[in-house]
Structure 1
Amino acid sequence: MATIYLSLSTKADSNKQQEILIRFSHGRINQRGKTNLFIPAEYWDDKAQQIIIPNFRLMNEENKQIKTYLTSHSEKLNTLISIIQTTFNNADKNSIEPDWLKFIIDKFNFPEKYIITNTELNTKLSFFDAFDEFLQKRKLSDVREKNYMVLCRALQRYEMLVGIKEKRAYKLELDNITSDTIEDFESFLRNEHTLYDKFQSLYDKFPAIVGTNRKTVKPQPRGQNTINALFNKLRAFFNWCYDNNKMTNKPFKNYESKPDVFGTPYYITIDERNTIYNTDLSHQPQLAIQRDIFVFQCLIGCRVSDLYRMKNEHIIRGAIEYVPRKTKDERPIPVRVPLTETAKEILNRYNGNDPEGRILPFISEQKYNKAIKKIFTLADITRIVTIINPTTREEEKRPINKVASSHLARRAFVGNLYKQVKDPNLVGALSGHKEGSKAFARYRDIDEEMKNELVKMLE
């Protein structure tokens, strides 16, 4: 939950008035700003964080002016706080700039600076030129930039499809996009997998990027969570355009988004991890290598994208140190995970075996995920787990060996630690989750073992 704290500056101006200051915090976001609202210190309640409106016994002209002045400033302050809260609630929390609060305050105090002139309107960038500028001016990790490009190619296909259906030259224009456009684009994203056969030329022109190659592939059905993730990025782009005078409307203002749906994370136990590690795979040596990599990932809890970047220099004084790629632009704090004896054993087994100098002999992520499913099957880790179908949003029962992937290693690390300590900040310091991550809320469900322990307490 966002917190706004108000205080008075310790310095007074020439009129012996002090400026009201704002501190805004939410998770990793912690920003300060000056309101440009000045009042005498005796009319400030520091405990209540508000302006005191006096009730003078004698309402002479001087007292009347003081009361009018303070009432006006109190109303302005309340309006400013409301604007900050509303703007933050509508913003993409992952795209808050370091000077976001100062910008909001400045726009509130000096709205004339942000009025778009006719000349500016006539020289606006095209939609996709603006999108390119947006990406260039944002410091995005490679992964996040690729995710934005997925959105960009979907928008390009949508633009072409509308033109084909309406038999006219259709172009997305920033100031012509409304909530109706957003809803139509959502329908396109939801049903795009049904359009491939009829409009394959769209996918030849704007193909997917597979690895480092451009490849025409049929879109897969998208669930609401996937659409929400794309819309968070689209909303961030529109907010940037609005804040930088590139558009005058807010297309998401009247759009009602549907909430994400997540199931309770399933993960393997420590005993299951050990069973996998001790399974005899000598008859399939290449699979044994991937098994060792998976177990190693279970022991350090990183994302697979971070795992694949690790080299010998990441091993420092008996621990792995790295900066998570997903959050490096928001919070470049190194994560340090001490290595267990099993983790050291795995590293020593493959020391110097990778021609690229990486700590382990990795294969492609796609092949790695396929190998993990085979490993689970050979280790007889096949229990049934409950998953949420990302497209239908309905529960399904599946054998864990059929849905296992590299991310299950990260979940095993987080889940087994969280089960022991119940402290998201402590576990997050080892897993690289940012402060306030919603992911930990899904690990709070009491598992069957804990239920049994609780019931035994009644005996």
Structure 2
Amino acid sequence: QGSDQLWPQGSSAPGFSIIYTKYPKIYDAVPADTHSQRKKPKPHPKGDNTIIGLFGLMRAFYRWCREQDMTANDPFAKYNGKTTERYGTPYYITIEERDQIADFDLSANPSLEAQRDIFIFQCLIGCRVSDLLAMTHDSIINGAIEYMPQKTAGERPHVVRVPLNTRALALVEKYKGREGLNGKLFPFISSQKYNVAIKKIFKTCGVIRMVTILNPTTGKEEKRPIDEIASSHLARRTFIGNLYKKVKDPNLVGSLSGHTEGSRAFARYRDIDEDIKKELVGLLE
């Protein structure tokens, strides 16, 4: 142990000699990364939210190891954190902006039109993109979409049922029976390309107003055109935000979005807008 002569040139990781001595053929077939002359990409700075999330995963891992009697070590025993997660006021598009995108003529670009239709459908049911990608025609039962949110399936599995309105049903019917879908509702592409398409759709349809966001890395306020930061999750926020403006009942809206009662995550979606403020003040008259 500790002999530099047993390690590939340039490597100095403790304990590396044991692995290299036992499995030399691995390093003959796949040279160690230290042999490469290519410069590694410069790491991007991480925001507090990302760091807190990573620490949360590490804490859970050590807790599991202790429960399995794999270790008695608890590096988080005296760690209380140095900061807290911060999120800006949720931004989303209005029903008028949603309809502006939905009714815009994109027939000259069928591929972009299809991704637009997927985004509008997501705005109408409020699911996460991971759940949307898994939906098939079998997910539609008695005029409503039914699914079990994948993100929380391991913690609190439950079925979310969202009735489909006329526009949503028309979108499903539009792509029904098309070749290559294999039972899927829409011609999906990858999540990354879907997000790129959404930004292009917003710009093409003229939904480019400025919004105020909180930069997740610097923690400072920024003004950005909404088309530059639009993504699939904006569809979910649009569903939740506009419903909450109509009914103002977090538990009722949460039953449609898949959030549990009292969810802290759901609280971030609620935007107490000017209309609600006026109604509250009006109660004092």
The TM-score normalised by the length of structure 2 is 0.82
Partner of 1:260: 85
The alpha carbon displacement at 1:396 in A equals 0.8
- 1:201 correspondence with 2:201: no
CA offsets 1:362-414 (integer angstroms, 9 cap, x no match): 11111111111111111111111111111111111101010000000000011
Q: 1:310 aligns with which of 130, 135, 148?
A: 135
Please tell me whether the aligned partners of residues 418 and 443 of structure 1 are also in contact (alpha carbons under 8 angstroms): no
CA distance in 2, matches of 1:217, 1:325: 33
Partner Cα distance (2:41, 2:189) in 1: 22
Q: Equivalents in 2 of 1:269, 1:249: separation in Å? A: 51
1:260 positional shift = 0.5
Inter-partner Cα distance in structure 2 for 1:236 and 1:454:
42
Give the deviation of 1:433 after TM superposition: 1.6
State how far apart, in whole Å, the 2-side matches of 1:168 and 1:309 are: 43
- Counterpart residue type for residue 164 of structure 2: L
| Aligned-pair CA distance for 1:351 | 0.4
RMSD of the alignment, in Å? 2.5
Task: Quote the offset at 1:445 in angstroms.
Answer: 4.3
The question of whether the paired residues in 2 share the 8 Å contact of 1:354 and 1:360 is answered with no
Q: Which of 236, 254, 268 is equivalent to 1:428?
A: 254
What stretches of structure 2 of length at least 5 have no aligned partner? 1-9, 17-31
Instruction: Select which of 169, 176, 199 maps to 1:373.
Output: 199
2:208 — aligned with what? 382
Q: Within 5 Å, give how 1:384-399 maps onto structure 2.
A: 384-399=210-225
CA distance in 2, matches of 1:294, 1:329: 27
Q: Deviations over 1:263-301 (max 9, x none)?
A: 111011111101111111122221111111100000000
Task: Return the alpha-carbon distance in structure 1 between the equivalents of residues 43 and 92 of structure 2.
Answer: 29
Task: After superposition, give the CA deviation of every residue in 1:411-430 in whole Å (9 maximum; x if it has no partner).
Answer: 00111111222222211211
Larger displacement relative to structure 2 (328-337 or 439-448): 439-448
Match of 1:412 among 229, 233, 238: 238
CA distance in 2, matches of 1:170, 1:225: 34
More strand by share: 1
1:454 offset after TM fit, Å? 5.7
Structure 1's unaligned 5+ residue stretches are 1-162, 172-199, 205-215
* Separation (CA, whole Å) in 2 of partners of 1:168 and 1:377: 50
The CA distance in 1 between the partners of 2:103 and 2:80, in whole Å, is 51
Contact 1:354 1:361 in 2 (8 A): no
Q: Secondary structure at the match of 1:397?
A: strand
How many residue pairs are counted as aligned between the two chains? Answer: 255
Partner of 1:16: none
1:327-355, Cα deviation, whole Å (9 max, x unpaired): 11112211110000000010111002252
- Between Structure 1 and Structure 2, whose CA radius of gyration is higher? 1
1:169 counterpart = 2:14: yes
After superposition, the Cα gap between the structure-2 partners of 1:168 and 1:298, relative to the gap in structure 1 and judged at 3 Å, is closer
Contact 2:88 2:214 in 1 (8 A): yes
The alignment partner of 2:134 has SS state of: coil
1:250 aligns with 2:82: no
Matched AA of 1:317? N
| Cα distance in structure 2, aligned partners of 1:297 and 1:445 | 19
- Offset of 1:227 from its aligned partner? 1.5
Distance 1:280 1:370 in 2: 19
- State how 1:24-423 maps to structure 2 within 5 Å: 167=12, 169=14, 201=33, 219-257=43-81, 258-353=83-178, 355=180, 356-423=182-249
Query: 3-state SS of the aligned residue for 2:135?
Result: coil
**Residue identity opposite 1:351 in structure 2:** K
| Greater relative CO, 1 or 2 (CA 8 Å, sep 6+) | 2
1:220 Cα offset (Å): 4.0
Amino acid at match of 2:14: A
Aligned partners of 1:345 and 1:290: how far apart in 2?
15
Whether the 8 Å contact between 1:327 and 1:434 is mirrored in structure 2 is no
Q: Determine what percentage of the aligned residue pairs are the same residue.
A: 58
Instruction: Report Cα offsets for 1:168-209 as digits up to 9, x if no partner.
Output: 5169xxxxxxxxxxxxxxxxxxxxxxxxxxxx937x9xxxxx
The alignment partner of 1:385 has SS state of strand
Tell me: CA distance 1:237–1:381, structure 2 relative to 1, closer, same or farther (3 Å): same
Secondary structure class of the residue paired with 2:259: coil
- Cα distance in 2 for partners of 1:168, 1:284 equals 53
- Judged with a 3 Å threshold, the aligned counterparts in structure 2 of structure 1 residues 354 and 438 are, in CA distance, closer, same or farther, namely farther
1:446 Cα offset (Å): 2.1
Contact 1:225–1:261, Cα closer than 8 Å, also in 2: yes
CA distance in 2, matches of 1:384, 1:248: 52
State the one-letter code of the partner of 1:442. Answer: R
Q: 3-state SS of the aligned residue for 2:213?
A: strand
Query: Letter of the aligned partner of 1:297 in structure 2?
Result: Q
TM-score (norm: length of structure 1)? 0.52
Query: Conserved in 1, the CA contact under 8 Å of 2:211 and 2:224?
Result: yes
